[in-house]
């Protein structure tokens, strides 16, 4: 019997990582892909480079050859470097590799969509669990950097669903009722040993410096909440209009596992 695949989605602070771990405990023989891992579908926190670009990276960082090669996977005429998994104090390394991500407006709309659709089209896995690999990072880029309208985003996901065809998958969407509370919780959780916030300032910078954030004057916590409310509305439409047969919405941070979760 063919095993299902699970995509766990939801806003920041929805408890996706915790839910993925619980899901893995239930489905012990499944393979898990966390954000930043090499994934057959997702490219968050990874550099997507040509062979020529890859060689230039190696030339720039000779002291990191071993680490870079260990965190690199070849796919056709590209290589994927999981650069955020490389622990180094080499000045500028992570910032340099960040420009090779497919997100943050680094690719135009057509190129971005082509990369996503091609990788999902080639994917043929089963028995896999993915953390925020089908909504979050793709939609953030579409909203904030490509400044796509809601109907454009839905149209893209209709095409993505067609690409997925009859592949076995289910999207489990963790629904956040109280977004301000979820953000307050994640702000407390993601601090350093001295209690300094690590996640929130970066998220705010990401929002404020995006083309959409600048155009609409999104600033600070208020701007973030406005953005997340809009994103939640889009994701709900996707679950209800596009992925109704392949998805389930449950309350975030629940101890209840949705019905039908089986290997």
Backbone φ, ψ for residue 207 (5° rounding): -70, -50
pLDDT in tens, 221-248: 999 999 999 999 999 999 999 999 999 9
199-207 — which CB contacts under 8 Å span 24+ positions? 203/12, 206/144, 207/144
The arithmetic mean of pLDDT across residues 75-81, rounded, is: 95
Query: Using CA atoms, how far apart are residues 80 and 47, in angstroms rounded to an integer?
Result: 6
* 240 exposure class (CB count in 10 Å sphere: 0-12, 13-18, 19+): exposed
What's the pLDDT score for residue 263?
Answer: 59
Domain range annotation of the chain: 6-42+125-251
pLDDT > 70: what percent of the chain? Answer: 98
What's the pLDDT score for residue 2?
Answer: 78
| CATH (one of 3.90.850.10, 3.40.1010.20, 3.40.50.300, 3.60.15.10) for 6-42+125-251 | 3.40.50.300
Closest CA to 30 of 181, 120, 131, 148: 131
Query: Using CA atoms, how far apart are residues 52 and 26, in angstroms rounded to an integer?
Result: 43
Look at the alpha carbons of 95, 45, 143, 124 in this order and tell me if their dihedral is positive or negative. Answer: positive
Confidence check: pLDDT of 139 > 90:
yes
């Amino acid at each position: 019997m063919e095993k299902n695949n699970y995509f766990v989605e939801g806003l920041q602070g929805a408890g996706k990582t915790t839910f993925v771990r619980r899901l893995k405990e239930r489905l012990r023989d499944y393979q898990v892909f966390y954000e930043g891992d090499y994934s057959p579908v997702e490219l968050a926190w990874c550099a997507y480079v040509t062979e020529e670009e890859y060689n230039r990276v190696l030339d720039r960082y000779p002291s990191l050859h071993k680490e870079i090669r260990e965190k690199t996977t070849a796919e056709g005429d590209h290589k994927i470097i999981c650069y955020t998994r490389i622990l180094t104090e080499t000045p500028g390394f992570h910032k340099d590799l960040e420009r090779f991500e497919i997100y943050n407006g680094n690719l135009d709309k057509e190129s971005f969509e082509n990369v996503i659709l091609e990788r999902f089209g080639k994917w043929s896995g089963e028995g896999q669990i993915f953390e925020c690999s089908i909504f979050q990072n793709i939609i953030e880029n579409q909203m904030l950097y490509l400044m796509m309208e809601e109907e454009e985003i839905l149209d893209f996901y209709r095409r993505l669903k067609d690409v997925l065809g009859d592949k076995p998958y289910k999207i489990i969407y963790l629904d956040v009722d109280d977004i301000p509370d979820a953000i307050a919780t994640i702000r407390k959780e993601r601090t350093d040993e001295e209690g300094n916030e690590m996640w929130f300032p970066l998220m705010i910078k990401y929002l404020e410096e995006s083309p959409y954030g600048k155009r609409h004057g999104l600033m600070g916590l208020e701007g973030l909440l406005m953005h997340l409310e809009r994103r939640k509305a889009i994701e709900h439409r996707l679950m209800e209009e596009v992925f109704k047969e392949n998805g389930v919405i449950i309350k975030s941070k629940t101890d209840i596992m949705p019905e039908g979760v089986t290997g």
